[in-house]
Structure 1
Amino acid sequence: MKAQHLNPTREALSALILAYAESGSIDRALLLFHTLREMHNCFPSVVSSNALLNGLVKSGKVDVALQLYDKMLQTDDGACAVVDNYSTSIVVKGLCKMGKMEEGRRFIKDRWGKGCVPHVVFYNMIIDGYCKKGDLQGATRVLKELKMKGVLPTVQTYGALINGFCKVGEFDAVDQLLTEMVARGLNVNVKVFNNIIDSQYKRGLVSKAAETMIRMAEMGCEPDITTYNVMINFSCKGGRIKEADELIEKAKERGLLPNKFSYTPLMHAYCKQGDYVKASNMLFRIAEIGEKPDLVSYGAFIHGVVVAGEIDVALMVREKMMERDVFPDAQIYNVLMSGLCKKGRFPASKLLLSEMLDRNVPPDAYVYATLIDGFIRNGELNEAIKLFELIIGKGMDPGIVGYNAMIKGFCKLGKMTDALSCLNKMESVHHAPDEYTYSTIIDGYVKQHDLSSALKMFGQMMKDKIKPNVITYTSLINGFCMRADMIRAEKVFRGMKSFNLEPNVVTYTVLVGGFFKAGKPKKATSIFELMLMNSCLPNDATFHYLINGLTNTTPSSDLIGKNESEENERSLILDFFAMMILDGWEQVIAAYNSVIICLCKHGMVDTAQLLQTKMLNKGFLIDSVCFTALLHGLFQKGKSKEWRNIISCDLNNIELQTALKYSLTLDKYLYRGRLSEASVILQTLIEDSKFSDLPEKDQNVVEK
């Protein structure tokens, strides 16, 4: 009975508040705080109160933390209560987390001298807040204020500023801050250097990153495993796997232990190269070092093998990860479904969706977009519509990717009215169409031969200030080519430059085909040469247009285009094509060889060899002109010593003389008439063939 009249002490309630706050039960801790204050007329200890404040800030309840802080400032007699510097710093941190740095500064100013002595930690939080927001002027202003008040900046102060300037690529400012740190006697730690090196690599400043590494060594700062991970990641992204492997070995030599961040980029790089055995070895290495492969590691591997087209390998890895109690998230399911859909294995993709729902993994907009796209690829538009309507009916948002996938399906099947209806629905739920939306609809109209509607949509795109992409321009160019309106097609092509867009292989191919159909072979071949000059590799469609276009060009016409008054430049392809026709070559062989010559002239000898293989598959053997072209191409690539191992020379003396004739003509284009190394080799081969063609008794006479 006596126990009923006992009240819990302040210390006991404070301990309970602390326990609740540290375990994450913030609401219970807050309720106890108010109970203690209102029913027992006292406050919990400063340690408990700070734990509660910190918990509120971490959970994003900064406004509640501010209200609590105000109550902590007062006791019944109005004097300062359970508040210390740490209490104030927690609130300042919360304000900065919300991007309210100015409020944080005012907060410090208001508390100055009222049981609170602001120190460098306060300023560091505000500087860090400004830097994360990208307001480097604000951060620099606070640094000056800090110095004026006699507060000494710390490594953390400079670290926050350096990180901010790194993000915007202002490395001159970074160098100045490093110099200032050294002048103040501060030791720059490895974390600061890692941020600098990482930013420099991300911006492609390799030499600058190397200079930072040297500076780091000069200042006696040893690299840690994070330093090496930054370099490993950069090497892997550039496909330099051997270099990345060597970096791991160097790290081990320094006594550093590689971690999952060391092996994951390598795993991804091996996947890109199709070496799944070595990629899976990286997963085993992660396990060997005591770090259980996590969702990120497995996700990287699965993404890599799916991109490489090895969906079955990805599905096997999914089974393995689930056996080890690592379960796929929505992103991994999306990658797997996408891979299955692209392989035409749509039923398997639907099974994955069922599994996903059974495991209570909520599909995101990308998963639904993948499935909608899969239905459409599988020719099941009605199923795609049902799924799309089901998503909306359940109150879920398909997102812009989902709407775009549905619009793409309608456009693919020429249902432009339905595509526009879907666009209107998309806008009604406040999803603004993007460049993909507009480009898809424009392309849909073009394929329906409705260029006027495509141009209207393009006008709306410009009005909405949506930047067109390469697909937008390529579709419009295709529309004008289909109308044989090559003047406007070329005008649109030139307009791409105003948006700093580089034409792709489809853009160039459409123009090449368009000009050939319009009876302008010179213009078609000049576009092809422009394509090669811009290092854009042609594809089978490009070659189809070129070979067919040249083969159907009337031999009696003026092949080098003198009648096309708007063009004055010579066409290498047409010059050689005309030369071969006049020399009596078959038109199709002349077409192939002219294109191969052009490829070799522009250093694309590998592509030329692939085209030559296509010639062989069609029954055309390597001839003297083709041999000449490949010889020039290999010499341009610096393979003058190993050319015999790459192309065979089974030409007789007459064929070699023909080869030399074309080689000397090619010298005019490549070396302004100077004798090339290829021509010298051909002359030598001709001399050797003269000797080998002599009867054996005459050879003996020559030798004597």
Structure 2
Amino acid sequence: MFCSSTVQRRLLTRLISGKPVAFSSAGCASVRGIPEDDAVTQIVGYFNYSPPCHNTKFLINSIRTDVWFRNEVARSGPSEIDAVLEKLSPDYAIDFFSLLQKEFGFKHSRNSWFIIAHILVEKKQSRALKCHLQNMLQEEDYFLKFFPSGSGSAPLLCDLLLKCFSGWNSTHLVWDMLAFVYSRAGMVHDALVVLSKMKDFDIPPSVETYNSLMHNLRHSYIMQDVYRDLEDNGIHPTDYTNSIFLDGLCKQSLIHEAIPFLQKIKEKETEPCVVWFNTLMSSFCRMGYVDIAKSFFCVMVKSGISADAYSYNILIHGLCVTGFLEEAIDFAIDMEKHGLEPDEVTYTILAKGFRLLYLKGGAGKVSEKVLNRNSNSDLTYTIQIYWHCQFGNVEEGFRLREEMLSKGHKLNGILYRVLFSTLCKSRMVKEALLLLSEIENTGFKPDAFMGSMIVHGLCKLGKVEKAIQLYKEICVEEFASNPQGSISLKKYDILTNSDMILDVASYNTMIDRYMKLGDMGEAIKLYGKMLEKGVSPTIVTLNSLITGSCKTGKHADVKKWLADIKMYNLVPTVATYTTLLNAFFEVGDTKNAFGLLKDMKANGVEPNKVTYSVIMKCFCKQGKLEKSVEVLRDMIARNLSPDQGCYNILIKYFCKAKNFKRAFELHDEMVRFRIKPNQVTYDTLINGFCVYGDLGDAEKLFSFLKGQKFRLSKVAYTTLIKAHCAKGDAWKALALFHQMSEAGFEISVKDYSAAINRLCKRSLLSDVMEFLRMMLVDGFSPDEQMSSDILRFLDEVEDCFSKFQIYALIIKCG
């Protein structure tokens, strides 16, 4: 048997019975002066004397539920766990560390984290090392509790590495990964602290670490210092390194340095790549110098570098916003000739260009020129058909369509939507139905926009049954899945006015839709028509009407809906009570609200999560924050698991009270209960720091979340942008604008207006000009609010030349 030895038999008994076994201390030298007969020796022996057949996974599973083991760990301090980790084999150490953290909730010391980091280096598990150090930073006090002042945790961690791990093998790789992880987390200052210490001890950073740091610093002049340091250390920059550096120079508008740098790397026999040219072209287009961007495009092509779709889209966009639409179309056609399929971005840019030129009265001439040349490409047909349909020339649009199909070309989704919309607007319903059939045969799925138009047209032709069928197939499904859409239900009035009787579910869908669109008048009319046709309401119908009346402040109507509930013998649901509770609390009628709670309990209706959220919000508004926390505790005691919304309410009001420590305690509680904080949670915390606390703390949280690859919302970006503008730090605001755009968020004129409004209040002339230039490049014109803010600001500007420049920019913006 495998348990032949006395030690093995005793261990097996231990594993089965859950009682501790006293092991011999032979081969288990004590660590840091800890006696050999204490918990350290016991725990180490637990692993070292396990039967040979017990692999790591088996042993970890066996001790996971072991009472003795849990008690020993509970009595052990961080230093004793450090000692255990140093004495275990690598595989046991990693699993033991993870077990304590995940299963036992043990908070490891920084020393333990670094012990495991060095073990992962020895095992050559670089990806695991990166994740491990990222988790270590997340455990630091500045994130989970409250942000301390100063540079963060880097100085402490560097001192620990120097004092305790300088003699360990491959410790230089841990240093490098620590700098890399700090950089990836957006904690640039901490990364620079680590690099400085590495330089003192001749530990060379990797090119990946330099790349990550330069990427985070590409909006700062410090980027140049980092690049010089890279060269001084004899590290050969990669193409990606040079791309980052070139992009940074362009983002800092250092074009006079970007071009010599490109020539310099060419002299080093480094072949330029398309990314470098795209970076330069984008920068020049952004500044309005499209001709220079075109010259770089020509140089790129002559150098044998193939342009990609992004190269063409950069120039097409630049030409469109500066009014050269005809030339933009030529580039789009050339793009197609070179085997690059124009994408949705290309069509969107060109459509925007037509719109801008149309407003200036020059689009017709361009359309004629396009019509008379290059008429055999899909792109040219798409542009022409789109143009004619948009401006009501249906016959010409469909003539071009037939011509396109006769030449073997296929229509794309954009063209189908435009053609269909044009037919419906022109009341050509029969033709629209034929096109709808063609669309379905090609595999495109009609959306709710198409459905609404065709149903409306069918009803006008008297084909109500066909309209109802399409309505149920397309529109009801769309309404249920997209309640916030912009389709007006007025298009379906003819359905309710016809002799056809819809079921109550259809009425409920439309009433709920009207309510969510804020059109309670139409919802009430529809309810009346429903009753006229003998369709009895359900509690769902009345709940929608109660919700709508409460949201629009028509509390008098609520009494009528409550009377109808009784009249139709309907039973109020938890949703009914919760809606009414919220309405009472909103108007400050706490007496009736708590009376309703008693009535709710008397009728055996149990409160749900939303009910508790409403009560918590009420206490928060009254300033009774701890009372609100008690409600949360009561909710948990009733086995109702709170969601993010419950915690977000409390976090919001604790931030308002400037009690950030309590807010983060609630955040930590969410994590412990495996309730994943969402975008609203972090939006609330970032806004709280910006409005009621320290902007620097908001930046640290923002950077940390980016480093953890958390998908931040646009609100998080705009909150920080407005805060920096209000503080007068336009440089950081501009950097965040670029980051927001790179993250895929659409920039609107309101975003610019919010920033410029705050910069005007700070009388920052050059910064106002920079934001106006960005607006021009993005094709926006100042709205009414922004114009008035700028005009008031200019009244106070004494620099006549600068004032003239701003006036010129405003005129150029339109």
Q: What's the TM-score, normalizing by structure 1?
A: 0.46
**Higher RCO (CA-CA < 8 Å; seq separation 6+):** 2
TM-score by length of 2: 0.40
